[in-house]
Structure 1
Amino acid sequence: MEIHRILGNKVRLYRRADGGTWHCSTYLKSKEWRKSTKEKSLAKARDVATDWYMDLTARDHFGALKTGKTFAEVAKVFEKEYEATTRGHRSPKWVQGHKDRIRLHLMPYFGDKIVSEITSGAAQEYRVHRMSEPDDWNEEEEGRPWKPPARNTIHNEIVTLSMVLKAAQRHGWLENLPDLSDPYRRRSKVEHRPWFTPNEYKQLYQATRKNAANPKSTAFKWHAEQLHDYVLFMANTGLRPDEVKHLEFRDVEIVTDDWSGKKILEIEVRGKRGVGYCKSMPGAVRPFERLRDRERPIGDGKGKDAAMALPEPTDKLFPNEFKKMFNRILTENKLKFDRNGKARTAYSLRHSYICFRLLEGADIYQIAKNCRTSVEMIEKHYAAHLKDMIDTSLINVRKEKRQLQEQTKQEEAENRPEA
């Protein structure tokens, strides 16, 4: 490590590798202060370190220099706690998302700040910083014009920031949490989620049936048949894609519905809401029977001579993904995007199931219970845009003109004073 001392040995300049950036440190108010100069030149690093030290001493003189845990220190504690306490409850990808937001965006901006200095104004300045084009952005070097991050991206970063500050408050390093809400955010427009109308759904399953009968390659025939049954199964159960991904044959049972007398599926669901139950539409029974009776590859399943066998009760219904094949069929049939330009995915089959049930007049509470969601979510994202949810018998109510006249005469007679 290369070290230089300046300002009468009060400030130390150091770098850990040749050609790297210089960092500076000093000792003030019984605490060591550190900062990256972001300069590779020693002369420029001296100037940055000098200005930084003078600013620290001035703030100390006027009582504005605050001591306490920095954001970087609290962030390390938060990451360790969050990963340990959410293990088994949150997916590793979700936990890694918080770590990435801290490492890529929050740490470079708030890293050296004392957590008590992160106020509502500091959070708003961070939003402006993220929405502003960087001074060092070079369109030719990057090969693309600069594009601001999506509003939801910044929202997620503020959520992570809030969780770090809450960790600081729990440990007694922060007295009060600042208000981190966006002061200029208007209530977002409620838009329905992309789904397939009945005609579009018919077009989709006809396309997957044709693809299963005549795949582009015989090597993909098994996958094409699985995809066709996947589309029918999803649209008749309303399961989430992640719930279907973890579904095993032992979780599904064919029973006779007491109300309709038809065969349906009773499914024990394991997903983001824990363990729940679902009763399917009769249309899900035949796809499930085909899945149960269809031989599948054993082991890695590669090669022309791969061994085939019927699935075991502990096997997953859909062990493989068909994202590329599904997207290809959607694109070829012009179903990938709805009229609002929103991309359809496997989740759209769940949205279609809910909309189909509402159009058929099913009870909204029972739909919510069967789909393991809330009535509020269904009313907000599904029922609001379905025309059949509006009851004209309760809207187009009119009093007949003659009936109104007779009612008026009767009221006049009752109110007429006696002779």
Structure 2
Amino acid sequence: MPTKSVQIIPSVAVLYKRERSGVWQLRVKLADGKWHRLTTREHELDAAKERALDLYYETRAKQQANLPAASRRFSNVAKLVIQQMEAELAAGRGKSVYRTYISVLNNTLIPYFGRMNVDTITPQVMTGFEQWREQQTNKPIPASTITNHNTMLNKVFEVAVQHGWASREKLPTLTNKGRKSDVRPTFSLQEYRRLVQRLRHWHRNGRTERTRQMRELLRDYVLILANTGMRHGTEALNLKWKHIEWYVDLRREQYLQFTVSGKTGARQLIAKHQVARYLQRIKGRFDDLACYTLDELLDKRVDEYVFRLRDGTRTQNLHQSFEQFLRDCDLLYGTTSDKARTLYSLRHFYATMELYRGRNIHQLAVQMGTSVGMLEQHYSKLTPMLLAEQFAGTRSEKDIAAAH
């Protein structure tokens, strides 16, 4: 509480001192009736009065120019944004991408903008940031990285505007001139058929028992990824039997429904019918599960991971086994991308095949837990291949062309 106060301009500008503080503070009433607090940094009253008048007229000038009367350092606003995302994650409502956003703020944006006031970040400042960012990596920045940066900058700006620490009209408009993503490596249908055929026997060639078990599990892991569109890693490896159930529609038809949780939070997806056969094969490796039919096992909501080795242990090295498999089969690289194929390529294969079959892109985005924009960005270049028959024309058209 103030111990003493001095009216500089009655009911508009008031000097005061807090207990155990020798510095005079100033309260200024804004146009909306709210009080704005400032420090004069002065200990003597006469000097404080002079400084108080300067601060009062500066505040009025800011309001008339539609500038915020108060501002905050970027780091303080960013930390508030981080607290909000961490609270949502702790409550189970936050998206998994929040962890990426928090990393962006802590590792890139706060180190550069941290000491600046939010309302001083101009287009010129942004140009300096872009140059600094390129110097840090010494190579073109991917568009996806810049998108994450822009998302968090805009979030900090939004919070600053909401609290009156920045004026929306004065904030810079962010752009993205990053390197566009390449077409993601996938498999053609012929290559996938070859892959499936080779997997039937490849696991028998392992030198050790553990290697054979890894390859045995890899076969079903690959088939399930390619027939669900699940993400390799968090979504697939954390899948438990209790996350799988039969979904029955109004026609009494039943479908395998998976509940997965990963990059975009929890979602349900429908697996291809043949996935039931792969699940049957997996459960048959375990004595405590083999005694149940698949229906009984799903009804029991068993709290065990689906993707385990025959000895019951889990592994994080399936991607290495898959890379070795692709090398052995001469399938590590394809013709649509210079990048090596990985387990994620099975998700891209799933998307490609679904688009080829004419699936609605909006429905596919929901099934795969991604955005329509992401599907369009990564698969638009595949359209001629997917519609090869339509572009090539019918055989009769070919004959007509030959006749000319």
Bin of the TM-score, shorter chain as denominator length:
0.5 to 0.7
Match of residue 317 from structure 1: 306
Match of 2:111 among 108, 112, 115: 108
Match of residue 151 from structure 1: 142
> What's the CA shift string for 1:145-170, capped at 9, x where partnerless?
x7236234344333322222222222
> What is the 5 A alignment of 1:302-341?
313-318=302-307, 319-321=314-316, 322-339=318-335, 340-341=337-338
1:312, distance to aligned residue in structure 2 (A) = 7.6
Conserved? CA contact 1:194–1:343, under 8 Å: yes
SS in 2 for 1:266: strand
Assess, with a 3 A threshold, how the Cα gap between structure 1 residues 328 and 296 changes in structure 2: closer, same or farther.
farther
Assess, with a 3 A threshold, how the Cα gap between structure 1 residues 258 and 221 changes in structure 2: closer, same or farther.
farther
> What's the CA shift string for 1:365-392, capped at 9, x where partnerless?
6655654556665555436524342563
1:349, distance to aligned residue in structure 2 (A) = 0.9
- What is the one-letter code of the residue matched to 1:316? Y
Once residues 273 and 255 of structure 1 are traced to their aligned partners in structure 2, the CA distance between those partners, rounded to angstroms, is 20
Conserved? CA contact 1:358–1:364, under 8 Å: yes
Q: Please tell me whether residue 354 in structure 1 is matched to residue 345 in structure 2.
A: no
Conserved? CA contact 1:269–1:278, under 8 Å: no
Conserved? CA contact 1:268–1:276, under 8 Å: yes
> What is the 5 A alignment of 1:12-411?
30=39, 68-87=71-90, 88-90=92-94, 94-132=97-135, 147-148=138-139, 150-152=141-143, 153-176=145-168, 178-182=171-175, 185=177, 192-241=183-232, 242-253=234-245, 266-271=256-261, 272=264, 274-282=266-274, 284-295=275-286, 313-318=302-307, 319-321=314-316, 322-339=318-335, 340-360=337-357, 367=364, 370-371=367-368, 378=375, 381-382=378-379, 384-386=381-383, 387-389=385-387, 392=390
1:290, distance to aligned residue in structure 2 (A) = 0.6
Identity over aligned pairs, percent: 26
- What is the one-letter code of the residue matched to 2:223? L
Once residues 363 and 108 of structure 1 are traced to their aligned partners in structure 2, the CA distance between those partners, rounded to angstroms, is 43
1:279, distance to aligned residue in structure 2 (A) = 3.8
Conserved? CA contact 1:336–1:344, under 8 Å: yes
Assess, with a 3 A threshold, how the Cα gap between structure 1 residues 223 and 297 changes in structure 2: closer, same or farther.
farther
- What is the one-letter code of the residue matched to 2:141? A
1:395, distance to aligned residue in structure 2 (A) = 7.0
1:331, distance to aligned residue in structure 2 (A) = 3.3
1:117, distance to aligned residue in structure 2 (A) = 0.2
Q: Give the TM-score, by structure 2 length.
A: 0.63
Assess, with a 3 A threshold, how the Cα gap between structure 1 residues 159 and 90 changes in structure 2: closer, same or farther.
same
RMSD (CA atoms) = 4.2
Assess, with a 3 A threshold, how the Cα gap between structure 1 residues 285 and 83 changes in structure 2: closer, same or farther.
same
SS in 2 for 1:382: helix
Give ranges in structure 2 of 5+ residues lacking alignment. Answer: 1-24, 26-37, 42-57, 290-299, 308-313
Once residues 172 and 121 of structure 1 are traced to their aligned partners in structure 2, the CA distance between those partners, rounded to angstroms, is 22
Assess, with a 3 A threshold, how the Cα gap between structure 1 residues 222 and 295 changes in structure 2: closer, same or farther.
farther
SS in 2 for 1:203: helix
Once residues 191 and 350 of structure 1 are traced to their aligned partners in structure 2, the CA distance between those partners, rounded to angstroms, is 16
Once residues 98 and 255 of structure 1 are traced to their aligned partners in structure 2, the CA distance between those partners, rounded to angstroms, is 35
Q: Give the TM-score, by structure 1 length.
A: 0.61
SS in 2 for 1:237: coil
Higher relative contact order (Cα pairs below 8 Å, separated by 6+ residues): 2
Q: Which runs of 4+ in 1 moved over 6 A?
A: 63-66, 254-259, 393-398
Give the aligned length. Answer: 313
Assess, with a 3 A threshold, how the Cα gap between structure 1 residues 89 and 221 changes in structure 2: closer, same or farther.
farther
Assess, with a 3 A threshold, how the Cα gap between structure 1 residues 131 and 176 changes in structure 2: closer, same or farther.
same
Conserved? CA contact 2:142–2:181, under 8 Å: no
Give ranges in structure 1 of 5+ residues lacking alignment. Answer: 1-26, 33-59, 134-145, 299-310, 402-419
- What is the one-letter code of the residue matched to 2:282? L
Once residues 31 and 195 of structure 1 are traced to their aligned partners in structure 2, the CA distance between those partners, rounded to angstroms, is 64
Once residues 78 and 357 of structure 2 are traced to their aligned partners in structure 1, the CA distance between those partners, rounded to angstroms, is 51
Conserved? CA contact 1:265–1:285, under 8 Å: no
Once residues 265 and 374 of structure 1 are traced to their aligned partners in structure 2, the CA distance between those partners, rounded to angstroms, is 24
- What is the one-letter code of the residue matched to 2:104? R
